[in-house]
Chains A and B, each alone.
Chain A
């Protein structure tokens, strides 16, 4: 990417448009109550936002290496310069993310209109309000010029995720999933905020550009940096579902499918990767942390891929796939090739969203998520072509974008001499192709249900969105292909790498075809061959159970202790004090006996006291 900078004002406009939409929908009740008005408002503002984002990139200008792409205003004043600022940082990464976020948001909002057609009218207004808020939050996150502003929007994005996962809040499973997502990402956020504050203590600023300058000139202390950057990375671990905080993402599929497409595929979960990419100059100072990131990323990728192979729920498969691909992106960053990871983020965002939306189509057709209850759609290419296109992209088949970006990541990892992560990622590529095509064959091409009905009706809006995304995927892939062929060679990757990754993809597809389409291999015997792994994968390797146990034992026990303390000690002290006061009052009341002679006693005592006082004064 060339270094470019965009207009701050246009960036603010991009940020403001979905926010205005949210405000309108949140505050103007009649607007929200009418689903048509709500949807129209939100979609209209989103279209404008897409236009503004496009304008932002179109009108960006090249910037010099040392020119700051940030525009900031004072927020928290302090002596000797503001403590924190607000503003926008409009460099090439933010502009690309703006385009991705606005475009996919728009696609998803359009799709939702048809997908959630059966929803009650008032709920839909709430849905679109949340969508607008989310778009605003995510845009704020990518445009943030300081750690603290990013953190604020980070939390807002987490809130939107909670609201949207728990959209059907009367379903206990959805409510639980929303809380779980919130809790687990919060664990990561604890590290994030601690790291940010420690960084501020060490460096005196939250601003990215200032921090990068300090990093380059050696103005940051050596000793504390690994811990600080590790803590900041923890935020990414939570948000981007790296091991061991990946457990919330599969459960987050309780939300509506378009929501999963938007925030659990393309945008929110990529915030962690975006963070690492954004703060990369700081991570360069701590190569140990980068190595850790690479290892954890590769391991996450493999772990998630293994769990995806045994899943029956189509959305869960896609969720694990997302976790896996996020692992890829993190591994790229850890291998000091953040650009490769970022490119994968951008392309993956589009075709993963397409995969989810395509899954939504079949879910809509079959009224179930179970892939073993689907099939027989061979005769309706309108339904399966976009999905299969996206699957090929994910598996890494040229000329689709997944091939180029995945290969770039593998090349980067190899270049950094991280052989074990490379092996893990290679195995993951094979498994990715396998499980994705397993889904494809079972969902679409298996002779079965669909044949009995002549034609399944798919709402045209959903089809349109899917085909648009598919066209985009293809176009970007072709553009990448042309760029690669035009430049002759791609980077310093070994020449055998493209063939190798293609072979991996091909092997996976072949295995899936043989097992599920041809029925040449029995899937039961396959799982029997890998019995222990299969058993563990089906139980998600027990990681969920560990967290649940920790929660029950540690957290609830602690809560009970605190509760006991509050009830018996704090309340106890207050109750005792009040009881004593009342008792003292009762006793004091007896002074007022109503008998005059008792009052004379009082006067006499007073006189005696005066005598004593006077005697004392005389001395």
Chain B
């Protein structure tokens, strides 16, 4: 039992439990909290995969930013509605069947693929390499991403404006 195996098992359990929590909890606010847990668990997976930079980004943006935004949105819609929105899900069986089918479909491919166990050696610090790549070959994409974020900002501002 290597450390990695134990770590993986633990993170996997947490992630799956949290995901189930997200989709099954009747209370929407609880759902968001479960999502936060799931996002942190995902960060743990990134750590196991030798990507500490991504772990940091995940915690900052996802667990920090997205969860905050969603909480705000829930509060606004709940506040405006004046009551707690109950989550009564519809057609649970259908959804379960379809999701299970999709999982089985993907898993089917996975069992057919040859097993890959060995990881190649790390070539230096990953973070530095990522940084270099971002301002190197992927510079254009980075700039476009910036433009996208500006557009999203503008869009959100437009939607959020007060009615004339």
Contact = CB atoms under 8 A, between A and B. Distances in A.
Are chains A and B native binding partners rather than an unrelated pairing?
yes
Interface of A: 597, 601, 604-605, 607-608, 611-612, 614-615, 618
List the 8 shortest-distance A-B pairs measured between CB atoms, nearest first.
A611-B105, A604-B98, A608-B101, A608-B105, A604-B102, A608-B102, A607-B102, A615-B108
A597 B94 CA distance: 12
A615 B107 CA distance: 12
A605 B98 CA distance: 8
A601 B112 contact: no
B98 A614 contact: no
Nearest to B98: A604
A597 B108 CA distance: 26
Contacts of B98: 601, 604-605, 608
Interface in B123-163: none
A607 B104 CA distance: 12
Contacts of B101: 608
Contacts of A615: 108-109
Contacts of B94: 601
Contacts of A618: 112
Contacts of A608: 98, 101-102, 105
Contacts of A614: 109
State the main secondary structure of chain A at its contact with B: helix
14 contacts: A597-B90, A601-B98, A604-B102, A607-B102, A607-B105, A608-B98, A608-B101, A611-B102, A611-B105, A611-B106, A612-B105, A614-B109, A615-B108, A615-B109
A304 B101 CA distance: 94
Contacts of B112: 618
Contacts of A611: 102, 105-106, 108-109
Interface string B93-117: 0100010011001101100100000
Nearest to A604: B98
Contacts of B109: 611, 614-615
Nearest to A601: B98
Interface of B: 90, 94, 98, 101-102, 105-106, 108-109, 112
Contacts of B108: 611, 615
Nearest to B112: A618
A465 to B, nearest CB: 98
Nearest to B99: A604
Nearest to A612: B105
Contacts of A605: 98
A152 B106 CA distance: 78
A212 to B, nearest CB: 87
A618 B113 CA distance: 11
Contacts of B90: 597
B96 to A, nearest CB: 12
Contacts of A607: 102, 105
Nearest to A614: B109
B130 to A, nearest CB: 31
A326 to B, nearest CB: 89
A605 B94 CA distance: 12
A607 B105 CA distance: 9
Contacts of B106: 611
Nearest to A611: B105
A597 B89 CA distance: 12
A601 B94 CA distance: 9
B102 to A, nearest CB: 6
Nearest to A595: B90
A600 to B, nearest CB: 9
Nearest to A615: B108
Nearest to B90: A597
Contacts of A612: 105
A615 B104 CA distance: 12
B151 to A, nearest CB: 22
A618 B110 CA distance: 13
A163 B109 CA distance: 85
A607 B109 CA distance: 13
Given A605-B98, A608-B102, A611-B102, 5 more contacts: A601-B98, A604-B98, A611-B106, A611-B109, A615-B108
Contacts of A601: 94, 98
A448 B143 CA distance: 125
A564 B101 CA distance: 55
A8 B110 CA distance: 95
Nearest to B105: A611
B107 to A, nearest CB: 10
A595 B58 CA distance: 32
A604 B94 CA distance: 12
A607 B106 CA distance: 10
B81 to A, nearest CB: 20
A607 B101 CA distance: 10
A607 B98 CA distance: 11
A587 B98 CA distance: 23
Nearest to A607: B102
Q: Which of the listed residues B105, B109, B112 has the most CB atoms from chain A within 10 Å of its own CB?
A: B105
A614 B110 CA distance: 13
A479 to B, nearest CB: 108
Contacts of B102: 604, 607-608, 611
A619 to B, nearest CB: 10
B27 to A, nearest CB: 20
Nearest to B101: A608
A608 B94 CA distance: 14
Nearest to A598: B91
A618 B101 CA distance: 19
A601 B102 CA distance: 11
- Most A CB atoms within 10 A — which of B90, B106, B108, B112? B108
A264 B13 CA distance: 110
B103 to A, nearest CB: 11
A601 B112 CA distance: 26
B29 to A, nearest CB: 21
A73 B106 CA distance: 81
A608 B90 CA distance: 21
A519 B161 CA distance: 123
A599 to B, nearest CB: 13
A603 to B, nearest CB: 10
